[in-house]
Amino acid sequence: MLDQVVASGFNSLRIPFSNQVLEAGRMPTSIDYGQNADLKGLSSLEVLDRILDGCAARGLRVILDRHRPTAAGQSELWYTDQVPEARWIDDWVMLAHRYRHQPAVVGADLHNEPHGAASWGDGNQATDWRLAAERAGNAVLAANPDWLILVEGVARYAGDYYWWGGNLTGAKDFPVRLSAPEKLVYSAHDYGPEVYSQPWFGATGFPDNLPDVWRRHWAYLQADSIAPVLLGEFGGRSVGQDPEGRWQRALVAFLKSSRIGWTYWAWNPDSGDTGGVLEDDWKTVDPAKLALLATDQQPLP
């Protein structure tokens, strides 16, 4: 698959994990060892080591994405009863040390899609995601000063509801403060009408109204030279003339004209509402999706 990723023109991967993967002795449960005999006996973390070695050998770069605290599901906040904040930070520091000399890994996406109770800039230690990102980000940089620190947005700020992790409007008044400011990358997620029917999809002038929505919520950070932005997730099943396809084509064109980097959700086809770059046979690249994404791909580093 890594060969196929490179052949399809991609230069990087955002690899999701849960904190359970990092537990000592945690073993994978869904590997076909008939096809992957070399992985037999390896822990989940050791399997990740192998994947990263494979990425490095092919020149791919990797962002590690703390996608959820446990395999059970995503969490609104960066901590839960099962995975408190101290463990969340300790696990990131461990990874920063473990992969300090692994050339494939370039960044840490600290927590996937803060939403619900997650706030930004209100000073509440229990919910203020901006403050938590500073605590974790600075701990990671102390262990590995070469990594980029990716900080996603929240869902709601000042009464404005947006996608989970996609609302970065609060960063204008309350920016993330890192010990190495040049390592900060803000990251947003954005989706189309097949995921949820947001009001801007039914507005007059769709899809020409969308760039203003994107600029207001996350793209302004890069346009105003505040900090770089990575669109960490977007995707959809259609790239045609239906609303989903028109949204997706408009977004790729916007990313290209704005020179904003991106990672697509997802490579694999069993990714919920969006499907994958791979078709349902897990082997064939979707030619229509790849043709769209190829209009804004960059070479291997």
**Secondary structure of residue 262 in the 3-state scheme:** strand
What distance in Å separates the CA atoms of residue 137 and residue 87, rounded to the nearest whole number? 14
Answer yes or no: is pLDDT of 150 > 90. Answer: yes
Which pLDDT band, with edges at 50, 70 and 90, does 229 fall under?
Answer: very high
> pLDDT tens across 86-139, in order?
999 999 999 999 999 999 999 999 999 999 999 999 999 999 999 999 999 999
Q: Is 152 noted as a catalytic residue in this protein?
A: no
Q: Which phi and psi (to 5°) does residue 57 adopt?
A: -65, -25
Q: Which of 23, 113, 134, 182 is catalytic?
A: 113
> pLDDT tens across 47-71, in order?
999 999 999 999 999 999 999 999 9
What distance in Å separates the CA atoms of residue 41 and residue 47, rounded to the nearest whole number? 10
Tell whether pTM > 0.85. yes
Residue 109: closest CA among 144, 79, 67: 67
Answer yes or no: is pLDDT of 301 > 90. Answer: no
Residue 60: closest CA among 221, 276, 298: 298
How many Cβ atoms sit within 10 Å of the Cβ of residue 287? 9
Q: Is 233 noted as a catalytic residue in this protein?
A: yes
Q: For the domain 2-296, what is the CATH superfamily, name and number?
A: Glycosidases (3.20.20.80)
* For the chain, domain boundaries: 2-296
Q: Which of 134, 152, 194, 233 is catalytic?
A: 233
Answer yes or no: is pLDDT of 273 > 90. Answer: no
Residue 11: closest CA among 287, 266, 261: 261
What distance in Å separates the CA atoms of residue 48 and residue 39, rounded to the nearest whole number? 10
